[in-house]
A and B are shown apart, each in its own frame.
Chain A
Amino acid sequence: MFHVSFRYIFGLPPLILVLLPVASSDCDIEGKDGKQYESVLMISIDQLLDSMKEIGSNCLNNEFNFFKRHLCDDNKEGMFLFRAARKLRQFLKMNSTGDFDLHLLKVSQGTTVLLNCTSKVKERKPPALGEAQPTKSLEENKSLKEQKKLNDSCFLKRLLQEIKTCWNKILSGTKEH
């Protein structure tokens, strides 16, 4: 009998402690009732999307690598939102309007505050901005810049839509429970 109790006391709890981080998410989502998202974040996301209405018609149906690697899967919503929020910061100063950057930062920063991710996740390397391009002529650079700007706008618009979709998924899952 002593051998049985020894196994249950010293065997199982450490096993559970080891397996628990694997099953759980790295980010603890706060505000799952949706009040902060609907009252603050969604307003900024809608403002940004409204300012980018004309961009959608020119976007090609490119599959961005970011969305291939990061998806809003079950139990991975927090991680996706965290990465998406950090990615938003790369598009600061893309638009000349001051309010555009403010709304962008509100979405990024507000999402980060609500996610309350662990320090391990926060210390991870931010996604790369992009590979360095070889030296080209001025005209080529100009066209490339315009193309890049268009691509960035399309990607930003897609990113905002995915953030909105992922938040709606979290809130709908909370309401069902």
Chain B
Amino acid sequence: MTILGTTFAVFFSLLQVVSGESGYAQNGDLEDAELDDYSFSCYSQLEVNGSQHSLTCAFEDPDVNTTNLEFEICGALVEVRCLNFRKLQEIYLIKTKKFLLIGNSKICVKAGEKSLNCKNINLATIVKPEAPFDLSVNYREGANDFLVTFNTSHLQKKYVKVLMHDVAYRHEKDENNWMHVNLSGTKLTLLQRMLQPKTTYEIKVRSIPHDYFKGFWSEWSPSYYFRTPEINNHSGETNPILLTISILSVFSVVVLVILAYALWKKRIKPIIWPSLPDHKKTLEHLCKKPTKNLIVSFNPESFLDCQIHRVDDIQARDEVEGFLQDTVPPQLEESEMQRPAGDVQSPSWPSENVATTPETFGRDPPLRCLAGNVSACDAPILSSSRPLECRESGTNGPHVNQDLLLSLGTANSTLPPSFPLQSRILTLNPVAQGQPILTFLGSNKEEAYVTMSSFYQNR
């Protein structure tokens, strides 16, 4: 049973192969070898003249004797069953609106009533679009590229609207090396760096239906020639605004560097990296070294040129913060100093000499003097008296203040400490018994002097 079935299958397959088909046409139909002499090809063009379509057929063999040969199309037509072609030299043409564009049509070569060759063709699959036109190339300097634009009549058509375009360009010296670019729109951008400089190029474009309608490539559009610019010219052109901005920025950077170098120590570094106060240096800065050629003498006649001011009252009012709080005990605030009025010279100078400077003594001696007996302070203080420059007393502020500080001269008087003050009047006011008060009154820098108020009331 199985063998019998296999035998029948082989027999029928051989029968089918022998029976018949040879040759292959592009439209899928099978052609007889004897009809190759009358083989033909056709293409359709839709809406070529308004709403009118065209169908063009021609024999593939140009040597065919077309005398008494006609073409006929039947099927897939509107309102009619068949239509005859019109013969124009070697081609056969038909123009009509009656193509249905759905389903197959039968196109036959007829000699009289006899059909020599027939093909079943769907006219929607042999569409040949119209060639594009208005091809142009514009160079865009800012973008460094070439804009290729063209136009096609199918943009306004109803049926064949969707096309695929093929843009081909070549170097003028390279005749056979065409470069192709496929696009669906009508604009193309060619980068300048993709092309050679100072070279002439030839460019052209063609179209083919896409989507439902299918067919053949259209004819090429007329070629367009364009020349690429030199690269040097383009690179030499620079934006003047950009150049100006770059020069200004470099100049400003250089100026900033110079200013930073010049002002580093004085201005910039103290702000960025402030130095911690050094007490020794601060005191040295405040208490300047005495100048040379100081007059040191205890002879009052040597100081006749000096301006001597009468001190009526010495009052201690304001206390220097920090300086007093750290070193001066509260007794200092209430200390009262009084010295006889008018008698400035003799006790003043010793008392001035009593006024110690931070350079000469440390802090402790002034404190001991302030808090303790004045007489106890006199000797050590006098022994290390500070030279006095009367002439310079009016000019040097803190120096003068220190020099003009008057000692109490008696017991129970406290010595004013040497305050690093400028342009202030040191007055000692009797606030409380036994406690002098030091007051700093603002005054002219050059005429800084100390007024000593009366000493203690009990004196």
Q: Is the CB of B159 within 8 A of A113?
A: no
Contact of A110 (CB < 8 Å), options: B51, B97, B100: B100
* In the complex, chain A residues whose CB is within 8 Å of the CB of B295: none
Looking at chain B's contact residues, is the secondary structure mostly helix, strand, loop, or mixed? loop
- Cα of A35 to Cα of B78 in the assembled complex, Å: 20
Q: Is the CB of B100 within 8 A of A36?
A: no
Q: Is the CB of B158 within 8 A of A43?
A: yes
- In whole Å, how far is B93's beta carbon from the nearest beta carbon of chain A? 20
Q: Is the CB of B78 within 8 A of A106?
A: yes
Which A residues between 88 and 125 are near B, CB-CB below 8 angstroms? 99, 101-102, 105-106, 109-110, 113-114
Given A99-B51, A102-B97, A113-B103, residue A39 in contact with residue B78 (CB < 8 A):
no
Q: Is the CB of B78 within 8 A of A109?
A: yes
Q: Is the CB of B102 within 8 A of A113?
A: yes
Asked if B175 CB lies within 8 Å of chain A CBs, one says no
CB nearest to B79 among chain A residues: A105
- Write out, one digit per residue, whether chain A residues 35-61 have a CB within 8 A of any chain B CB (1) or not (0): 110111101000000000000000000
CB nearest to B102 among chain A residues: A110
Given A106-B100, A109-B100, residue A36 in contact with residue B212 (CB < 8 A):
yes
Interface size class of A (residues with CB under 8 A): 10 to 19
* In the complex, chain A residues whose CB is within 8 Å of the CB of B326: none
- In whole Å, how far is A16's beta carbon from the nearest beta carbon of chain B? 27
- In whole Å, how far is B363's beta carbon from the nearest beta carbon of chain A? 101
- In whole Å, how far is B234's beta carbon from the nearest beta carbon of chain A? 47
- Cα of A114 to Cα of B76 in the assembled complex, Å: 12
- Cα of A102 to Cα of B101 in the assembled complex, Å: 13
Looking at chain A's contact residues, is the secondary structure mostly helix, strand, loop, or mixed? helix
* In the complex, chain A residues whose CB is within 8 Å of the CB of B211: 35, 39
* In the complex, chain A residues whose CB is within 8 Å of the CB of B440: none
Which B residues between 228 and 242 are near A, CB-CB below 8 angstroms? none
Q: Is the CB of A39 within 8 A of B79?
A: no
* In the complex, chain B residues whose CB is within 8 Å of the CB of A43: 158-159
* In the complex, chain A residues whose CB is within 8 Å of the CB of B159: 39-40, 43
- In whole Å, how far is B39's beta carbon from the nearest beta carbon of chain A? 28
Given A102-B79, A113-B102, A113-B103, residue A39 in contact with residue B212 (CB < 8 A):
yes
Instruction: Write the residues of chain A forming the contact surface with B, with a CB cutoff of 8 angstroms.
Output: 31, 35-36, 38-41, 43, 99, 101-102, 105-106, 109-110, 113-114
18 inter-chain pairs at a CB distance below 8 angstroms, sorted by A residue, are: A35-B212, A36-B102, A39-B101, A39-B211, A39-B212, A40-B100, A41-B102, A43-B159, A99-B51, A99-B97, A102-B97, A105-B79, A109-B78, A109-B100, A110-B100, A113-B76, A113-B100, A113-B102
Q: A38-B212, A102-B97, A105-B79 provided; 6 other pairs, C-beta below 8 A?
A: A39-B213, A40-B100, A102-B78, A110-B100, A113-B102, A113-B103
